[in-house]
């Protein structure tokens, strides 16, 4: 099928091309799309060079699916135009996530709700995706009451300019454009996205609201603190989960070992636990440090790590496209 990648020159767009190639998605024609300043440039895919086109040419080419990673304002403007042309849009921005008329999809959890009418499909926030992949099978068994999450998020979540800032600071180079309000190297910033009137950041509230929507349960209480750290391999999360029902730790491990897309790395005696360094470039979500919270009943502590450019963005979007194809919705 014809597939467009909108925002093909960006960090996530490049990762989407890589994931489409690695997973051998059945593409008959790739249409790389970017803003006017990138039109005419080339991208490589499966050993061939493809010329970047503009938005109007992409719509005229009538791809079956357009995977967007071009920012919220671009998506709000252009996704409806693609959809009106009968093209499925899988959007990686925050533009459509909380729109009640749009599905917010993590394939392991709720892809089965998709229909041919869902022309604009929202890809969730990176930090939310990796958390709910682990939470959902536990929720089915024990029913989650409350989640307290603190994140340790890679600079790659901000984009290429943030990676450039980190390495420039490491070299003592002051000439590179700053995307953070403070140095990031040898530092930790408790500040991701903008601060809201309630004192939380937009990123924190994304985790609160998206978790409920994806898991289809407004009763789950979520509170989050999101933190940027100087790593590039992926996002990490310390997650505290209070259940309505008690659990057995061995049963928890067994549930997670069977959960789709989840890999258990939980052997602390041998220093085995998830890390961004070892999650980098992988599609799975890794979970470890599985232990009971001894301060209150029915409560579990977990450590969750995933590559935010892969499962947190590109891989999840491609998995949605695979579902549309496999189930003949497209």
CA–CA distance, 163 with 176 (Å, rounded to integer): 11
Distances (CA, A) of 222 to 82, 108, 235, 306, 330: 34, 21, 18, 20, 35
Element of type H or E holding 262 = strand 262-264
Using DSSP, state whether 29 is helix, strand or coil. Answer: strand
Structural Rg of the chain based on CA atoms: 20
Q: What are phi and psi of 264, to 5 degrees?
A: -85, 125
Determine how many CB atoms are found less than 10 A away from the CB of residue 99: 11
Which residues, 6+ apart, have CB-to-CB distance to 161 below 8 Å? 177, 179
Using DSSP, state whether 76 is helix, strand or coil. Answer: helix
Which residues, 6+ apart, have CB-to-CB distance to 98 below 8 Å? 104, 209, 210, 213
311 with 133: CB under 8 angstroms?
yes
Catalytic residues: 126, 235
CA–CA distance, 296 with 292 (Å, rounded to integer): 9
Counted residue by residue, the chain has a size of 330
CA–CA distance, 271 with 100 (Å, rounded to integer): 44
The order of strands in the sheet holding 2-6 is 29-33, 2-6, 65-68, 88-91, 120-122, 103-104
Sign of CA dihedral 329, 26, 259, 107: negative
298 with 3: CB under 8 angstroms?
no
CA–CA distance, 324 with 36 (Å, rounded to integer): 30
């Amino acid at each position: 099928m014809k597939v467009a990648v909108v925002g093909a020159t960006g960090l996530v767009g490049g990762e989407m091309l890589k994931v489409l190639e690695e997973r051998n998605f059945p593409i008959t024609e790739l249409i790389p799309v970017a803003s006017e300043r990138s039109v005419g440039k080339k991208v490589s895919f499966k050993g061939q060079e493809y010329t970047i086109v503009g938005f109007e040419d992409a719509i005229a080419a009538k791809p079956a699916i357009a995977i967007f990673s071009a920012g919220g304002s671009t998506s709000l403007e252009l996704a409806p135009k693609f959809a009106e042309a009968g093209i499925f849009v899988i959007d990686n921005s925050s533009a459509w996530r909380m729109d009640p008329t749009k599905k917010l999809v993590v394939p392991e959890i709720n892809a089965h709700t998709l229909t041919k009418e869902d022309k604009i499909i929202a890809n969730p926030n990176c930090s939310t995706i990796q958390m709910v992949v682990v939470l959902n099978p536990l929720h089915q068994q024990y029913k989650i009451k409350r989640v307290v999450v603190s994140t340790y998020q890679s600079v790659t979540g901000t984009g290429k300019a943030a990676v450039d800032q980190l390495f420039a600071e490491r070299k003592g180079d002051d000439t590179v454009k700053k995307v953070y309000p403070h140095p990031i190297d040898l530092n930790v910033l408790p500040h991701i996205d903008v601060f809201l009137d309630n004192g939380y950041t937009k990123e924190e509230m994304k985790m609160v609201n998206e978790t409920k929507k994806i898991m289809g349960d407004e009763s789950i209480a979520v509170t989050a603190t999101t933190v940027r750290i100087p790593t590039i391999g992926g996002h990490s999360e310390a997650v505290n989960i209070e259940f309505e029902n008690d659990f057995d730790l061995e049963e928890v491990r067994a549930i997670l070992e069977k959960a789709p897309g989840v890999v258990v790395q939980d052997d602390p005696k041998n220093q085995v636990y998830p890390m961004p360094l070892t999650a980098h470039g992988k599609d799975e979500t890794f979970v470890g440090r599985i232990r009971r919270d001894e301060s209150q009943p029915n409560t579990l502590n977990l450590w969750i790590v995933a590559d935010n450019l892969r499962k947190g963005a590109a891989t999840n979007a491609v998995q949605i496209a695979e579902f549309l194809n496999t189930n003949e919705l497209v």
